[in-house]
Structure 1
Amino acid sequence: MVLGLTLPGERRGRDEGKAAERAGATSGATPTAQAAKAGRPPAPGGSGAASASASASVPIAAAAAGAVAVKANELGQVPVLMYHRILKKPEMSLDRSTKELYDELTGLAKDGYSPVTAAEFVGGRFNVPAGRHPVVLTFDDSTPGHFGLDAQGNPKPDTAVAIIEQVARENPGFRPVATFYLNKELFGMDDAQAAAGLGWLRQHGFEIGNHTVTHPNLAGMSEKGVRKEIGDMEDRIVKLTGAHTTTFAFPFGSVPKKAKWAGKQDGRYTFQGMFLAGWRPSLSPFDGDFDRWKIDRVRSEGKIKENDCTKYCSTAWLEYLDKNPDERYTSDGDPNTVTFPKTAEDRIAKEYRARARTY
């Protein structure tokens, strides 16, 4: 796989109208498709226009004292980090070394980030301690450097899972979870190994997501082709785990002609969220402009010139959020409420207004 392109975009925070560019991955052929917005079903807690209208009239309660003390802002931006191969010595531009992964995760832990899975994020019910910040760790393509089990049934050393667990042991409060988007290779395992491995991941709180069978560019494919790529992968995952996936990541960040082809096929797959390639942090899932069918991610990379990573990959974005804490999601510590400064009240999604708290 080769790195690709930069596309014009707009920094998600926002009110200043700052220009940004997207730093992501591509097949080297086609830019990320901008599909027409798919029809959006009511988000969790909503039941159509009538309930949305009624909830808009509900007055917002005052925030708890503890939430105010930590300056909670649950309408802030959330970094959804995108990783590809993890190797001791990187070979291609998307690769990250084991040391780079360890250093980045340790930095996140020291800066008060707490990992949640992609499914928890889109569901809007993740539990992050007060004053800490959610981060979503996503790994694409199910390569051997992500995960494997040794003869004793433990994660193999120097894999992403082993590194995540090490960082969690060294930094209490850093939750050892991540989301792995699978292709047919399944970490280089045969089906018997994969069934045991995927079972281990799910039992230990890691999420399994769908990333198609062969990692094609869906933008130029027919409806039948799109559904076969996603459906066949889903069938295999269900066969190995007994469970459906909750989220999907577009290969190369490329959306098909109709995004709904990827979102649902009765009897085979129904996703609650779909993720793009990577260029900027995501909006909060409680923001009225949050689009669960095209969720932004940030490529994990240092401040290098390639793909304008000097500004728009993980190192740069994490530095930006650290310097602009009012733009970052900070938890109120209560998964049943959504706390934010009163100045942001117009941004809360209607379906979450009853859970809102302001100060």
Structure 2
Amino acid sequence: MRRSVPVLSALLVGLLATSCSGGGPAGTGGPAATGAAARPAGDLRSPAAGAAKDPAAVHANELGAVPVLMYHQLSEHPASVYDRTPADFRAELERLAREGYVPITAAEFTSGRIDIPAGAHPVVLTFDDSTNSQVKLGSDGKPDPNTSLGILLDVASRHPGFRATATFFVNGDPFSATGSKAALTWLAAHGFEVGNHTLDHANLRGLGEAEVEHEIADDLKGIKQILPNANVVSLALPFGSMPKPGSLAVQGASGGVSYHHRGVYLVGANPSVSPFAASFDPTAIPRIRSEAATGEEAEFGSTSWLDKMAQSPANRYTSDGDPDTVAFPKSEQSRLNPAFAKQARPY
């Protein structure tokens, strides 16, 4: 089922000017560990000792904007703006790798410990709907090379430092061609995050409170039956529709199953502010739809936003390589969340 991006033209025009400088809707963050050398998919080790550098030398700005990219279906013949061809998906990952982005999971992003090399930029890769074009394992138990997962693994193998990880937001009976148990077990074993996308891909805004809790809690129940040790802390809202009250997206319970999310993700349509920024709101994290430079609402898509961020590199999140500090130019001091004052490293 396809998503509809809310038409927020007036608001988003303003965000074009403010999001890359730290304004705009908030997002959530967390750590992603990657070193300078190539590593196996899902390797969560921290960078090599001594990776931190003088923040000024790498133009660090850990109060900068972070792209949270949203993917759905891969198809050779896209049926909507939510579909991408395998070639286009590969090209976007190649671009991210060339431009110094390092993938992290949604859970890592919201944890506020972004552990990537000095000079690198975090990017959160998210996949909705648990489709077979995203994850499919062959009879040998290995990912199909033509799926999103297979392409991501291949690009990471070709670009040392580009970490093969992502967050897959799943519904009931995820990755049916492989089987839920085999697919989710593989993802968890290789360092990928499994997030909640409701049991039936429900439009939560139109449901009563008990129905909202049922949709979220039952999806969690299915995940935990396969991955009992999984810490499911991220929710992507189907259609980007917030329930009423919005607090039900963060926590609730149904049928003896309770949930609590550190991050709630929307549908669009701009970069997130840093998790260290005072304006960061983990209950409404914006995402950017993966999209070419032309087409429906392309000005809010990934190609357009990555172009903008490349043209204004000082405004994007750039790491100093030390996950225990928050480095930024002194001119950005007013944007810091006071909760991180002791970790601040202005220069």
| Shorter-chain TM band | 0.7 to 0.9
1:252-263 matched pairs, under 5 angstroms: 252-263=239-250
Q: Aligned partner of 1:269: which letter?
A: Y
Q: Name which of 310, 322, 325 aligns with 1:334.
A: 322
How far the C-alpha of 1:88 sits from its partner, in A, is 2.9
Name the counterpart of 2:76: 88
- 2:164 paired with 1:163: no
Change (3 A) 1:305 1:161: closer
Counterpart contact for 1:12–1:282, Cα < 8 Å: no
Secondary structure of the 1:69 match is coil
Name the counterpart of 1:350: 338
Name the counterpart of 2:274: 284
Q: Aligned partner of 2:264: which letter?
A: M
Name the counterpart of 1:225: 211
How far the C-alpha of 1:15 sits from its partner, in A, is 8.8
Aligned length: 316
Name the counterpart of 2:47: none
Change (3 A) 1:120 1:201: same
How far the C-alpha of 1:104 sits from its partner, in A, is 0.2
CA distance in 2, matches of 1:151, 1:357: 51
Change (3 A) 1:294 1:18: closer
CA distance in 2, matches of 1:81, 1:89: 21
Counterpart contact for 2:175–2:183, Cα < 8 Å: no
How far the C-alpha of 1:189 sits from its partner, in A, is 4.3
How far the C-alpha of 1:128 sits from its partner, in A, is 0.9
1:37-52 matched pairs, under 5 angstroms: none
Counterpart contact for 1:237–1:244, Cα < 8 Å: no
Counterpart contact for 1:12–1:77, Cα < 8 Å: no
CA distance in 2, matches of 1:346, 1:323: 24
Counterpart contact for 1:12–1:283, Cα < 8 Å: no
Counterpart contact for 1:235–1:268, Cα < 8 Å: no
TM-score (norm 1): 0.83
CA distance in 2, matches of 1:175, 1:270: 27
How far the C-alpha of 1:188 sits from its partner, in A, is 1.6
Name the counterpart of 2:15: 11
Secondary structure of the 2:54 match is helix
Secondary structure of the 1:121 match is helix
Q: Aligned partner of 2:101: which letter?
A: Y
Counterpart contact for 2:19–2:65, Cα < 8 Å: no
CA distance in 2, matches of 1:170, 1:17: 32
How far the C-alpha of 1:18 sits from its partner, in A, is 12
Change (3 A) 1:19 1:285: closer
Name the counterpart of 1:210: 196
CA distance in 1, matches of 2:223, 2:267: 22
How far the C-alpha of 1:87 sits from its partner, in A, is 2.0
TM-score (norm 2): 0.86
Counterpart contact for 1:156–1:162, Cα < 8 Å: yes
Name the counterpart of 1:47: none
Name the counterpart of 2:90: 102
Question: Structure 1, residues 195-230: CA drift from partner, whole Å, max 9, x if none?
Answer: 122111011111000000111211121101100110
The 10-residue stretch of structure 1 (263-272 or 205-214) with the greater mean CA deviation from structure 2: 263-272
Gaps of 5+ in 1: 23-36, 38-42, 45-63
Change (3 A) 1:19 1:77: closer
CA-based RMSD of the aligned residues comes to 2.4
Name the counterpart of 1:114: 102
The 10-residue stretch of structure 1 (252-261 or 262-271) with the greater mean CA deviation from structure 2: 262-271
Secondary structure of the 1:137 match is strand
The 10-residue stretch of structure 1 (124-133 or 86-95) with the greater mean CA deviation from structure 2: 86-95
CA distance in 2, matches of 1:268, 1:144: 28
Q: Name which of 238, 243, 263 aligns with 2:224.
A: 238
Q: Aligned partner of 2:239: which letter?
A: F
CA distance in 2, matches of 1:15, 1:265: 31
Secondary structure of the 2:175 match is helix
Name the counterpart of 2:307: 319
How far the C-alpha of 1:175 sits from its partner, in A, is 0.2
The 10-residue stretch of structure 1 (86-95 or 318-327) with the greater mean CA deviation from structure 2: 86-95
How far the C-alpha of 1:278 sits from its partner, in A, is 1.3
Change (3 A) 1:17 1:202: closer
Q: Aligned partner of 2:7: which letter?
A: T
Name the counterpart of 2:251: 264
Gaps of 5+ in 2: 31-51
Counterpart contact for 2:22–2:65, Cα < 8 Å: no
CA distance in 2, matches of 1:352, 1:221: 38
Change (3 A) 1:17 1:289: closer
Question: Structure 1, residues 65-103: CA drift from partner, whole Å, max 9, x if none?
Answer: 522100000000000000011123322331111111100
How far the C-alpha of 1:145 sits from its partner, in A, is 0.5
Q: Name which of 66, 70, 77 aligns with 1:78.
A: 66
Counterpart contact for 2:53–2:321, Cα < 8 Å: no
Q: Aligned partner of 1:264: which letter?
A: Q
Change (3 A) 1:128 1:297: same
Identity %: 43
Name the counterpart of 1:136: 124
Change (3 A) 1:115 1:258: same
Question: Structure 1, residues 33-88: CA drift from partner, whole Å, max 9, x if none?
Answer: xxxx9xxxxx99xxxxxxxxxxxxxxxxxxx8522100000000000000011123
